Amino acid sequence: MASRNPFSPTFGASPPVLAGRDDILDNIEDALATGPTHPDYTTLFVGIRGAGKTVTLNAVEDLARSRGWLTLSNDATAGGLLPRLTRAAAELLNSGGSAGLSRRLRSLTVGGFGLELESAPTVDVARDLRMVLSDLGDRLAENGTGLMITLDELQSGDLDEIREFGAVVQHVTRREQRPVAFAGAALPQIEDTLLSDSAATFLQRCSRYDIGRLDPRATNAAIVGPVEQRGAAIDSRALEEAVAATGGYAFMVQLVGFHTWKAAADPSAGITAQEAAEGISEAERRIGRLVLDPTWRGLSDGDRRFLTAMTGDDGSSKLADIAARLGVNVKYAGVYRRRLIKAGMVVAAGKGRINFAHPIARDWIRDKAD
């Protein structure tokens, strides 16, 4: 009787073995131990869909909690970020009893952290957040811990809100040296939006980590580790092929692992190369639909034609070539370029060149076009 499948091919679901991110986590652990002067006290994870940003943020939260820190985790997509964070921070503060509350905050709490914050002008909301985080930070500093704030999907956040949030953390953490740490995650298009916005200096000053592909050793560990944890085994050729099929892309690692396990008659007797090959084909059939289809469905016909024109190249494309293939002028093609970068389908690849953001996109779109 095969035991439960250990792999987790689901967005945001922590993998059984989080491979290849030890350096990042070690640096952040070191930062929490050192304090706000450490460059990794505020960090930003950037990577394509399915690269493993959310689960790395989760690991950062676990790390903070294991040191006795409090955590606040939020998604920047929904509006009202500041009031949400303010309320959540106030709850943390209140749940520790009112002993540590300063007078100004106590009066604010008596007034109620109610709905009125939602409609208050942004400047007041920012001031409230700064007050709550300052008081919470002071209180946590007394017992040698701190607060870790994580924000996912920063690229879809409201620019003004993120600026305000950044200014608050800048003040509380950098200027006043309170133990309020930050880790954020975003898709690469953040380069063209938030990180090119001169007002968002806070994000620009965060330590940047590219959540990129896993190297073959890490990929190996991510596949064989969970198998062995279940008391099962995998044939060395099967493992080699599974590792190669993932290209180090984290989501694909889970997908290949999952379907390989599923294809195996008896994993405890050892997953064979034949079974791995079946699992790999199944994973390859599913990956495009899972990762690219959601974005593709939201694109206009023009966007799709642009992307299809890019599949005429095996590497990066010259914008001028794409314009020529589409029979439009370069300026007009530039409009599509910008839109597709925002959608996360395309990345800039040097002067006048672009490429697919996603390594599997080219083949997937070619298959669609056929």
Q: Which two tokens stand for residue 84?
A: 């949400």
Is residue 303 within 8 Å of residue 340, measured between CB atoms?
yes
Shortest spacing between CB 361 and ligand ATP, in angstroms:
14
**Does the footprint of ligand ATP cover residue 51 (CB under 6 A)?**
yes
Q: Is 28 in the site for ligand ATP (CB under 6 A)?
A: no
CB nearer ligand ATP, residue 117 or residue 252:
252
Q: Which is nearer to Mg ion, 54 or 355 (CB)?
A: 54
Do residues 147 and 180 lie in contact, with contact meaning Cβ atoms separated by under 8 Å?
yes
Angle between helices 159-169 and 81-95 (to 10 degrees): 40
Nearer to ligand ATP, 20 or 137 (CB): 20
Q: Which of 5, 6, 9, 172 binds ligand ATP (CB under 6 A)?
A: 9
Please tell me the chain's helix, strand, coil percentages from 3-state DSSP, rounded to the nearest 5: 60, 10, 30
Spatial neighbors of 148 by CB under 8 A, at least 6 apart, are 32, 60, 61, 64, 69, 70, 71, 72, 181, 182, 183
Alpha-carbon distance 86 to 83, whole Å?
A: 5
- Pick between residue 54 and residue 272 the one whose CB is nearest to Mg ion: 54
Residue 188 touches ligand ATP, criterion: CB under 6 A: no
Pairing of strands 42-46, 180-186: parallel
Query: What's the chain's length in residues?
Result: 370
Considering only the stretches 9-17, 85-93, 114-122, 164-172, report the one whose residues sit in contact with ligand ATP under the rule CB under 6 A: 9-17
Q: Does 78 bind ligand ATP (CB under 6 A)?
A: no
DSSP 214: P
Question: 134 or 155: whose CB is closer to ligand ATP?
Answer: 155
Q: Which of residues 50-79 bind Mg ion (CB under 5 A)?
A: 54
Residue choice 5, 43, 54, 189 for contact with ligand ATP (CB under 6 A):
54
- Give the residue with the Cβ less far from ligand ATP, 42 or 56: 56
| Residue whose C-beta lies closest to ligand ATP | 52
The enclosing H or E element of 343 equals helix 330-343
Residues that bind Mg ion (CB under 5 A): 54
Residues near ligand ATP (CB under 6 A)? 8-15, 18-21, 47, 49-55, 187, 214, 222, 250-251, 253-254
